A and B are shown apart, each in its own frame.
Chain A
Amino acid sequence: MTFPIYNYPKSQEVFKRAFKVIPSGIYGHQGPSEGCYIPHDAFPLFSSRAMGSHFWDLDGNDYIDYMCGYGPNVLGYRDPDVDDAALEQSKKEDCVTIPSSIMVDFAELLVDTVACADWAFFAKNGNDVTSLAVITARAATHRKKIVFFNSYYHGVSPWTQKLDYPGILEEEVCNNLYVNFNDYPALQKLFAEHKGEIAGLIAQPYMHGNFADNFFPDEGYWQKVRKLCDDHHVVLIIDDVRAGFRLDLAGSDHYFGFKADLICFCKALANGYNVSALCGNDSLKDVVSSLTYTGSYWMSAVPFAAGIACINKMKVLNTPKLFEKLGKDLTDGFVAAAKNNDFQLVVSGAPSLFYLRLADDDSLMLHQQWIAACVKRGIFLTSHHNHFINAALTHEDIKKSIEIAEDAFNALRHHSTSLSFNYHL
């Protein structure tokens, strides 16, 4: 089955306007540079509407979307239950001088849902709460250093960036310590070398980094890390911004059988409504109380209403189980489509957050060609990042996605014999 090839004249026209008035035209991970639009003109640049598991670009092209806004779309775009709850709340109030009591309802729901949570603090972006977690760890321990696992991503604040990033001072990252995930002896050694200096260890629940196969913790790894943190009085912070609620509604630490001291949520918290949360155990509640940390929109009521509706619906649907099945069906189909065309597609990470890589060349160039061919036929994938499943994804969507993937593999097979890397398949 062959699919029509998309073009993006309207997107490109608007981009010309954008480039004049916005840095890079579209900055950040949703733009051509950090979004790895390879080749540049194979990807749509602006969307016009979204519904369920689909979005439509400015030229009217329809995509089955496996990036889900890079995570926030967990129930489907414009989910009626979430949108109705948000609409009802907006009729009453949103951003007011004092908070709505719905904030308390939302905090109670999180405490009841998330295994390690005794309290919840709300902000807007994942970066707000990863930063709060690190400040909390330092305030609680009166220590400076933070341990990171190599290939981490915890946001964009200076402390999350690196020595060689423009605008980031050496002094802002000089207390960062780096170690490889799953290398417990190296972590032990690091803790010993910096005994009494480490405030916190911040980590994603498993390695879902970019440009590399994603991988899980070794058996018993997290339990050993938990004990090591306890022995050294180090605050264990789980950054569940990306994986949160897609593996386990009680938190990804619960999924892997341990308890974090602090856990950060954002993306899947309110199905696209703008809220993030830091949850933690009782011992750190008063520490957070002592901090100066707030924001103009952090107590807006509408996202709280959306969050409550979102979590309750995820519970009813048992989304982690649903995502596991949908992700597996989809990626099994992709792998078979690759095999039918003599390619080897490697799927890694959790099925709900699957990462793809064509193993037939080690440069990712072939993979980038295939991704571009998929996008130009109507499934939005990326070549560098894990993907996301949402609850509105239908079996028809999956079937069509696999057919598009097969068509793209077929085109790749016919064009790749010369390895001339013509990306326009």
Chain B
Amino acid sequence: MLTQTDSKTLAYVNLFAVLGTLENLCELVPEAKDLLKDKPPISIGFTVKHGPKATLFFVDSCCHIEEGCSPCTIKLPFSSCEKFNGLMTGTVTPIPSKGFTKISFLLKTFVPLTDMLAKYLKPSQEDLANVAFRETSTKLTLYTAASAIAQVGNQDQSGKFSSGLMPDGDIAIDVTDVMGITLKIKDHHLTALRKPCDKPRAAMTFSNLEIARQLLNGEASAMACICNGSIAMRGMINMIDNMNRILDRVGQYLSV
């Protein structure tokens, strides 16, 4: 167990897991879709020195993220992982190196979208009292956490130790009758796909969204939930075991 986080892994988590969840926000939250309505296609590239590079594409009221940032409308360079992480905490204001004429999208669309995402990922108790909000918040948190598992498993010292013990194959992370996520493992490299798994080699299934919320918030233990049956596992349990060790570490990054 490491007690410290590192800024490079945090940058990967922030870019691919947190900002990557804009994909799901635009899909699940009508207000997010409305913000993008009738907007021409636009893309924002993030390039972090000695860190991650990715592009967010906004097309037809939808969003998707891709690795790399060569074909983008707006380019946001960061001189270090710490600077990029500062963007996420609001302590750093980015200066585009490309796309000056599109700055209004950044200010009037992208910032409101990320504010909306933050509202769902760090919800107030008041918002959580609304059942629909609570469900969406949990879904978005689960997408973020699963994507963060891949980033932490690929970048973090402890995460790499865990992924180094994982055999090849796909893990299904499911909430019964609600949603599914795929975590692919190939040569100890992890990739999260925000869609259900076709042919899992291992599966971890939450009996309902509330159990997922409790686990992700640290209100419940995976081991205890497996013991009382509220989380089911099957298949290559060593894959699930190591994934859960990475998930423990993810909590340290997402709470930064």
Chain A residues within 8 Å of B, Cβ to Cβ = 15, 19, 23-27, 31-34, 36, 38-41, 162-170, 210-211, 362-365, 368, 384, 421, 423
| B237 touches which of A23, A163, A211, A421 (Cβ 8 Å) | A211
A167 to chain B, nearest CB (A): 6
| B236 touches which of A31, A165, A363 (Cβ 8 Å) | A363
Question: By DSSP majority rule, is chain B's interface helix, strand, loop, or mixed?
Answer: helix
A163 adjacent to B200 (CB under 8 Å): no
A421 to B233, CA, bound (A): 12
Given known A-B contacts A162-B161, A165-B1, A170-B1, A365 and B235 have beta carbons under 8 A apart:
yes
Q: Which bracket fits the contact residues of B?
A: 20 to 34
Task: List B residues 119-171 near A (Cβ within 8 Å).
Answer: 157-159, 161-162, 169
Q: Which residues of B contact A31 (CB under 8 A)?
A: 227
Given contact pairs A162-B161, A164-B159, enumerate 13 new A-B contacts (beta carbons under 8 Å).
A19-B227, A24-B224, A25-B224, A27-B223, A32-B227, A33-B226, A34-B223, A38-B232, A164-B158, A164-B161, A164-B249, A165-B245, A170-B2
A33 adjacent to B202 (CB under 8 Å): no
Number of inter-chain CB pairs below 8 Å: 83
Q: Which residues of A contact B221 (CB under 8 A)?
A: 24
A120 to B201, CA, bound (A): 46
| A362 touches which of B201, B226, B234 (Cβ 8 Å) | B201
A163 adjacent to B2 (CB under 8 Å): yes
A-contact 0/1 string along B224-242, CB 8 Å cutoff: 1011110011111110001
B169 to chain A, nearest CB (A): 7
Q: Which residues of B contact A38 (CB under 8 A)?
A: 232-234, 237
| A36 touches which of B2, B237, B249 (Cβ 8 Å) | B237
Q: Which residues of B contact A368 (CB under 8 A)?
A: 234-235
Given known A-B contacts A19-B228, A41-B229, A164 and B201 have beta carbons under 8 A apart:
no
Q: Which residues of B contact A210 (CB under 8 A)?
A: 238
A423 to B232, CA, bound (A): 12
Q: Which residues of A contact B235 (CB under 8 A)?
A: 363-365, 368
B237 adjacent to A24 (CB under 8 Å): no
B158 to chain A, nearest CB (A): 5
B240 to chain A, nearest CB (A): 10
Given known A-B contacts A163-B161, A165-B1, A168-B1, A39 and B228 have beta carbons under 8 A apart:
no
Query: Could you give 5 example pairs across A and B, Cβ below 8 Å?
Result: A32-B229, A163-B158, A164-B158, A170-B1, A364-B237
A326 to chain B, nearest CB (A): 28
Given known A-B contacts A163-B2, A164-B249, A365 and B234 have beta carbons under 8 A apart:
yes
A211 to B2, CA, bound (A): 27
B228 adjacent to A164 (CB under 8 Å): no
A-contact 0/1 string along B98-110, CB 8 Å cutoff: 0000000000000
Does B248 interact with chain A (Cβ within 8 Å)? yes
Q: Which residues of A contact B245 (CB under 8 A)?
A: 164-165
Task: List B residues 195-218 near A (Cβ within 8 Å).
Answer: 200-202
Does B246 interact with chain A (Cβ within 8 Å)? yes
| A23 touches which of B224, B229, B232 (Cβ 8 Å) | B224
Task: List B residues 1-49 near A (Cβ within 8 Å).
Answer: 1-3
Task: List B residues 44-93 near A (Cβ within 8 Å).
Answer: none
| B238 touches which of A15, A26, A33, A211 (Cβ 8 Å) | A211
Given known A-B contacts A24-B223, A163-B158, A40 and B232 have beta carbons under 8 A apart:
yes
B157 to chain A, nearest CB (A): 8
Q: Which residues of B contact A164 (CB under 8 A)?
A: 1, 158-159, 161-162, 242, 245-246, 248-249
B202 to chain A, nearest CB (A): 7
A211 adjacent to B246 (CB under 8 Å): no
- Residue of A26, A164, A365 ringed by the most chain B CB atoms within 10 A: A164
Q: Which residues of B contact A34 (CB under 8 A)?
A: 223
A32 adjacent to B226 (CB under 8 Å): yes
A192 to B237, CA, bound (A): 35
A163 to B158, CA, bound (A): 6
A23 to B168, CA, bound (A): 32
Q: Which residues of A contact B248 (CB under 8 A)?
A: 164, 166
